[in-house]
Structure 1
Amino acid sequence: MRLVTYSSANLGGPRIGAMTEEGLVDLTEACGVTSMRAFLEDGLQAKAQTHVDGAREFVSDYRLDLPIADPGRIFCIGVNYMNRNEEYKDGQAAPTNPSVFMRGPLSFVPHGRDLVIPPESEQLDYEGEIVLVIGRPGRRISKAKALDHVAGLTIMNEGTIRDWVRHAKFNVTQGKNFDRTGGLGPWIETDLSGIDVTNMTVETRVNGEVRQSDTTASMAFPFAKIIEYLSTFTTLQIGDVIATGTPTGAGARFDPPIWLKQGDVVEVSVEGVGTLVNGVINEA
């Protein structure tokens, strides 16, 4: 099931729905919630599936919002694809533990809306990533049970203002949290039965040109290890999201660098999940 948060001129919002081949099925009244986080906390997936299976009406007027408008926390894993470690050319060995930083929800826009280049910098870069959505809380979760805590997968363009990640020593927070510089969506894919999460493809295209393409088989820290590691120091909560790292090929790694500019269109496709699409504009 592909779960979405959306708004509608006719129905208002926020509302919860499921995207099907026939169209968008509203779940708000059927499940009695307007928040995706509440939907996951209340364990309404089975009830929603029953409603979707019997649906005969579809929403024609809608605008997708962030899949989870109020995530508990947004964890991001850095330098997780092995060829990215080599890309840094700093002579350091492969990492023994994941690199972790945090982002806030204001730094993201939903599928179909524009990323914004701020006036403070022209160095807006793209980073296509697979995102885990936590659907079951836990502390010190074993790798064997890690995926039992995942409600589904979504997609992120973990947009970065490159020069601002170097404003201070050991601190990337500023460059990772400019308002509306990243994309998240379009939905949460809850059916992972046909997906090999250990070898699934993520690809980023800018104006149709492939810039990034790799599989999770290249990850230094697979999904299960990431969950095990994060849950060692903090209790993972329902509605937390975890961006799992980006492959090589970001704009900063070209010579000279290729930054996003107004009018560009960035697409991030994840095998078995879908495609996140965002345009790019200059901040007014």
Structure 2
Amino acid sequence: MKLVSFIQDGKTGLAVELDGGALVGLDESDAAFPGNLHSLLSEGNGALQSAQSALLSGREIDRAAIEFAPPIAQPGKIICIGLNYKDHADESGMEAPSHPTVFARFASGLVGNGQPMVLPTDSSHFDYEGEFVAVIGKRGRRISPERALDHVAGYSLFNDGSIRDVQFQTSQWTVGKNYDGTGAFGPYFVTADALPKGCEGLRLVTRLNGQLLQDASTSDMIFDVATLVSQLSNAFTLEPGDIIVTGTPSGVGGARKPPLYMKEGDVCEIEMEGLGVLRNLVVAEKAG
């Protein structure tokens, strides 16, 4: 199942993409609206499947008339993994980690597919990072690696827009990773049953203005999805709607010679097999 969270005329909605690419769904003004994706994941017990039936009985949704929203607008946790591809650790001049390198993002920085990513006024070092996201669908703590994928409801894409000069001002990356309007998330939520287990062996690419800059297989990750879910859950309870942003491969702009940063007017695309294309225009932050 491939779902789209959207906003139309100020109302939130949810749609299913059909095989031919058409969207069919409902918004919150409809009596049969099953709720947003986050609430459905929290309900568990087949809520997603029931919602699919309701959405398929809805109306066709015109892509040109909607604003794509992040699949989950307010995740309880946005857990990001750094240096999770050895070649990216190498290009960053850092050792490949023996344990997942973890930092957090805040929901205030999220934007949906087609929404602008914002180049801040205090930096021109705005870098792209193409990644995929594991969305938690089942609550758990101290989850074994063997059962970890049972807790993943589905997957999406992410552009972890990073303000590099701010990111490396200290050993803690939080501020440079959390500027408003820098974390693109979407366009779809794809249920886990529609993809290989753990998204293993899928091609992940990033293009900037059509130029291919990142090109890797998810098989190259140091820590796969099951390992991440298991190890993170040793520390804290994972809840439905939490997301794990699984890391970026080599080819980021800050590691290039000369560096290649995103600027106003650029278009960045993240694409992965089965998850579509996350596309965002870069705009300059408005003064004041």
- Which of the five TM-score ranges fits, normalised by the shorter chain? over 0.9
Query: TM-score scaled to structure 2, two decimals?
Result: 0.91
Q: After TM superposition, give the deviation of residue 27 of structure 1 in Å.
A: 6.4
Query: TM-score scaled to structure 1, two decimals?
Result: 0.93
Which residue of structure 1 aligns with residue 50 of structure 2?
A: 47
Aligned partner letter, 1:181: T
Aligned partner letter, 2:5: T
Instruction: Please give the alpha-carbon distance, in whole angstroms, between the structure 2 residues aligned to 1:24 and 1:276.
Output: 20
Which residue of structure 2 aligns with residue 172 of structure 1?
A: 173
What is the RMSD of the two structures over their aligned residues, measured on CA atoms?
Answer: 1.6
Instruction: Please give the alpha-carbon distance, in whole angstroms, between the structure 2 residues aligned to 1:221 and 1:228.
Output: 11
What pairs up with 1:52-71 in 2 under 5 angstroms? 52-53=55-56, 55=57, 57-60=59-62, 61-71=65-75
Which residue of structure 2 aligns with residue 151 of structure 1?
A: 153
What pairs up with 1:54-133 in 2 under 5 angstroms? 55=57, 57-60=59-62, 61-90=65-94, 92=95, 94-133=96-135
Instruction: Please give the alpha-carbon distance, in whole angstroms, between the structure 2 residues aligned to 1:199 and 1:125.
Output: 25
Instruction: Please give the alpha-carbon distance, in whole angstroms, between the structure 2 residues aligned to 1:281 and 1:57.
Output: 33
Instruction: Please give the alpha-carbon distance, in whole angstroms, between the structure 2 residues aligned to 1:121 and 1:56.
Output: 45
Aligned partner letter, 2:225: F
Aligned partner letter, 2:26: D
Whether the aligned pair in 2 keeps the contact of 1:5 and 1:15 (CA below 8 Å) is yes
Which residue of structure 2 aligns with residue 140 of structure 1?
A: 142
Which residue of structure 2 aligns with residue 186 of structure 1?
A: 187
CA-to-partner distance for each residue in 1:150-207, whole Å, 9 max, x for gaps?
1110100000000001222x21001000000121111210143443522111100001
> Does 1:244 find its partner at 2:242?
no
Whether the aligned pair in 2 keeps the contact of 1:134 and 1:241 (CA below 8 Å) is yes
Whether the aligned pair in 2 keeps the contact of 1:198 and 1:217 (CA below 8 Å) is yes
Q: After TM superposition, give the deviation of residue 88 of structure 1 in Å.
A: 2.6
What pairs up with 1:169-248 in 2 under 5 angstroms? 170-195=171-196, 197-248=199-250
Aligned partner letter, 1:257: P
Q: Percent identity?
A: 38
Q: After TM superposition, give the deviation of residue 52 of structure 1 in Å.
A: 4.4
Structure 1 segments unaligned to the other structure (5+ residues): none
Whether the aligned pair in 1 keeps the contact of 2:73 and 2:110 (CA below 8 Å) is no
Structure 2 segments unaligned to the other structure (5+ residues): none
CA-to-partner distance for each residue in 1:207-248, whole Å, 9 max, x for gaps?
111000101111110000000110000000011000000010
Q: After TM superposition, give the deviation of residue 15 of structure 1 in Å.
A: 2.1
1:175 partner SS = helix
Q: After TM superposition, give the deviation of residue 25 of structure 1 in Å.
A: 1.8
Instruction: Please give the alpha-carbon distance, in whole angstroms, between the structure 2 residues aligned to 1:40 and 1:87.
Output: 38
2:176 partner SS = helix
Which residue of structure 2 aligns with residue 22 of structure 1?
A: 22
Q: After TM superposition, give the deviation of residue 145 of structure 1 in Å.
A: 0.9
Q: After TM superposition, give the deviation of residue 42 of structure 1 in Å.
A: 1.5
Which residue of structure 1 aligns with residue 37 of structure 2?
A: 36
The count of residues paired between Structure 1 and Structure 2 equals 277
Instruction: Please give the alpha-carbon distance, in whole angstroms, between the structure 2 residues aligned to 1:193 and 1:262.
Output: 36
Instruction: Please give the alpha-carbon distance, in whole angstroms, between the structure 2 residues aligned to 1:115 and 1:24.
Output: 27
Aligned partner letter, 1:2: K
Whether the aligned pair in 1 keeps the contact of 2:152 and 2:192 (CA below 8 Å) is no
Ranges of 4+ aligned residues in structure 1 off by more than 4 Å: none
